Amino acid sequence: MTDQAAKAPDRATLQAAFDIALAALRGQYQCFVIEYLKDGNGQAAAVRAGYSEKTARNQASRLLTIVNIKTAIEAGQQLAAYDAVMDAREVLTRLSDVARGSMEDFMHIERVRYHPRLPVPDPTDDDPKAVRWVKDPVEVERLVIGIDLEQARDRGKLHLLKKYKEGQWGPEIELYDPLTALQLLGRHHKLFVDRAELTGQDGNPIEVSDARDRLLDRLARRAADADESGSGDPAGGSG
């Protein structure tokens, strides 16, 4: 973690700084700050704070030069910037929404009854193959399926929409991939563990006893080599 990240204020600190700066203002000054933070439009904020529409532009220019107002606006903007960043829980919530996404939220399905129109031969001198269309007296039923974005909006699901275009037969949509979201969630919850399989010579299983015997044999040979190299050293003693 960098020193800058370690010193970054938390939300409670930013909120307290904004509250203190706002409390230093009174009446229309305080209202102006609150309204200005909504959209950053000084003239509109001045009108909403109660200043005359005729003088709102000049009033906004004047108000934005007042030190206490500038301090409160800067504190409010820092707080808003903090809130605009997703925390870990919101990231997981969005991923969960995508993973649970369904075309059902975007589709309108209903059964309709109607009288189909049937072609009846009606030849003429100019067109012996001419037909006329008549309504079938027998009512039939069919399933009508369509894309319903208003329904998705009302259900709060439009953020799941990745692509939209008008195709030859009507709207075409694509949702964000739920499988990718499930994989990311699975990794976060450590549901998927990468495993590496080790094999012995020629792909055969590793025999634990054989490996132990080979290790002991290697250690014994090293000990013997060390004894042999040490036996050639002259014996120490006092002369």
238 pLDDT band (50/70/90 cuts)?
very low
b/e map of 118-135 (b: 16 or more CB within 10 Å)?
eeeeeeeeeeeeeeeeee
Q: Give me the phi and psi of 224, to 5 degrees please.
A: -65, -45
Average pLDDT over residues 70-85: 93
* Statement: residue 150 has pLDDT above 50: yes
pLDDT of residue 200: 65
Residue 182 confidence (pLDDT): 93
pLDDT of residue 206: 63
Q: What span, in angstroms and rounded, lies between the C-alpha atoms of 141 and 114?
A: 6
Could you tell me the maximum CA-CA distance found in the chain, to the nearest angstrom? 143
Per-residue confidence at 37, pLDDT binned at 50, 70, 90? very high
Q: What is the percent of the chain where pLDDT is above 90?
A: 59
d(CA 168, CA 201): 61
Q: Which long-range contacts (CB under 8 A, 24 or more apart) does 68-73 make?
A: 68/21, 68/24, 68/25, 68/29, 69/25, 69/29, 69/32, 69/33, 71/21, 71/24, 72/18, 72/21, 72/22, 72/24, 72/25, 72/30, 72/33, 73/33, 73/36, 73/37
- Per the CB < 8 A criterion, the answer to whether 184 and 178 are in contact is no
User: Would you kindly state where each structural domain of the chain is located, as residue ranges?
Assistant: 9-84
Task: Say if residue 67's pLDDT is above 70.
Answer: yes
Rounded CA-CA distance 12/214 in Å is 63
Quick check: 1 pLDDT over 50? no
Residue 235 scores a pLDDT above 70: no
Task: Answer whether 79's CB lies under 8 Å from 18's CB.
Answer: yes
What is the token pair recorded at 218? 């290697």
